[in-house]
Structure 1
Amino acid sequence: MTAAQRREQLVAVGREVFAQRGYEATSIEELAARADVSKPVVYEHFGGKEGLYSVVVDREMERVLDRFTSALAAGGSPRALLERAALALLDYVEEDTDGFRVLSRDSPGSYSSLIGELARRVEHLLGERFGERGYDPLLAALYSQALVGMVAQVGQWWLETRSPGKAEVAARLVDLAFAGLSRLDPDPALRHERC
């Protein structure tokens, strides 16, 4: 194998093992054994487990962000954007299950970074819509975090259940989000304050 081929092999093995076992439970010995190489080969290419993990996470984040960017690039009504965003994540969960597991497993920082990045990409779209409807566009950051977080959390749940079907899950997510967004109070207040 060339050095580039070996590196790609190690990334593929790392993706699979990190998805199955998580970062903490994965050892450099296991990674090397699964790739049928010696430990020094893993160190040579990545400096260790952390370096390999970082490459795997970066690639997965890029994969899912590309899906979201493509889904949102077409524009359209707010409901159409929500539908495409929900389906983009559920498609990723279904088609790149190992990648989603890597991002959502016991990996401090990476999953929250992913959610934050997705929310930032959605924020400008919401901000434009908020301005058009007389809402404070600065609040788009809060709502984009809530919406993306909701879809991502449901994606984690759906990964394990796969029921109901993807289209129904997406439709229900969009219905909940869209119903809430369409009835936003421009100046909400708590109705029952704590004592």
Structure 2
Amino acid sequence: MAAAGSRRLPRAERERQMLDAAVATFARRGYRAASMDEIAEAAGVSKPLVYLYLNSKDELFSACIRREAAALTAAVRDAVEVGATPERQLWSGLLGFFEHTAAHPDGWAVLYSQARTVGEPFAAEVAVLRSEIVDFVAALLTAACGSRDVAAYAHALVGAAESLAGWAATAPDPAPTGRELAASLMTFAWSGLSQAVTGRVEGPAREESGRAG
């Protein structure tokens, strides 16, 4: 390990190496049980070097959260087909989300299972990520639906996606693919969202609206 730790690498590459090891360790062991010793060993560096680059376990965990959050947000934004129909935009965004979480299970575990349950300040960092994704989804729905209030739809959709990805992470083999998860939520959500896009309200919601009027 000393030889591996002594190899000269650019700082950015060394930090990436440490963060990769930390994400995998936090996902497997949990924040409290994970030790800096095992993270350093997994990264192939000395523990003092981890502290030199990332100062403390708290700062290391925060760095993991920020990196994984940025990667997830970018995956969703990049996947959405700008200029496509609302249905196609929803599908492509869901596909980007679920394919990313399926391809990066350790990163998703850090965000969904660890950071939100450890407490502050980590939960607040994940809340910022969630708010950014909700705002992005709301902006897409607003563009499709015009001036109608879509905040409830955006929160419901993001919550459903998070819950489904969380379930998939612990589902027995063979685990559903990202495409299968996106198709499941698309089938579940689009019938209602399509009514919002066209301005139609049906079923119990229409009956309640009629009574209110």
Distance (Å, rounded) in 1 between the aligned partners of 2:175 and 2:9 = 43
Match of 1:113 among 112, 128, 131: 128
What is the CA-CA distance between 1:174 and the residue it aligns to? 0.7
- Which amino acid in structure 2 is aligned with residue 147 of structure 1? L
Following superposition of structure 1 onto structure 2, how do residues 114-129 of structure 1 map, counting pairs within 5 Å?
114-129=129-144
Q: TM-score, normalised by structure 2?
A: 0.76
SS in 1 for 2:115: coil
Match of 2:159 among 126, 146, 149: 149
SS in 1 for 2:83: coil
Is 45-54 or 68-77 further displaced after alignment?
A: 68-77
Distance (Å, rounded) in 2 between the aligned partners of 1:61 and 1:168 = 23
- Which amino acid in structure 1 is aligned with residue 17 of structure 2? Q
SS in 2 for 1:105: helix
Q: Cα deviation per residue 1:106-163 (whole Å; 9 max; x = unaligned)?
A: 21314433222211111111112221xxx62xx2222111111111210111122254
The percent of aligned pairs where both chains have the same amino acid is: 29
Match of 1:140 among 146, 150, 156: 150
Aligned pair in 2 of structure 1 residues 165, 30: CA closer, same or farther (>3 Å)? closer
Q: Which position in structure 1 is the counterpart of 2:79?
A: 71
Match of 2:179 among 160, 167, 175: 167
Q: RMSD across aligned C-alpha pairs, in angstroms?
A: 2.5
Contact 2:102 2:177 (C-alpha < 8 Å) held by counterparts: no
Following superposition of structure 1 onto structure 2, how do residues 56-67 of structure 1 map, counting pairs within 5 Å?
56-67=64-75
Q: Which position in structure 1 is the counterpart of 2:119?
A: none
Aligned residues: 186
Contact 1:16 1:98 (C-alpha < 8 Å) held by counterparts: yes
Match of 2:99 among 91, 98, 107: 91
What is the CA-CA distance between 1:164 and the residue it aligns to? 4.4
Distance (Å, rounded) in 1 between the aligned partners of 2:192 and 2:64 = 36
Q: Cα deviation per residue 1:50-106 (whole Å; 9 max; x = unaligned)?
A: 111111111111111111111225231121111111111111122112111111122
Distance (Å, rounded) in 2 between the aligned partners of 1:37 and 1:71 = 36
Q: TM-score, normalised by structure 1?
A: 0.82
Matched, 1:33 2:48: no
Aligned pair in 2 of structure 1 residues 47, 164: CA closer, same or farther (>3 Å)? closer
- Which amino acid in structure 2 is aligned with residue 63 of structure 1? A
Unaligned runs of 5+ in 2: 1-7, 117-122
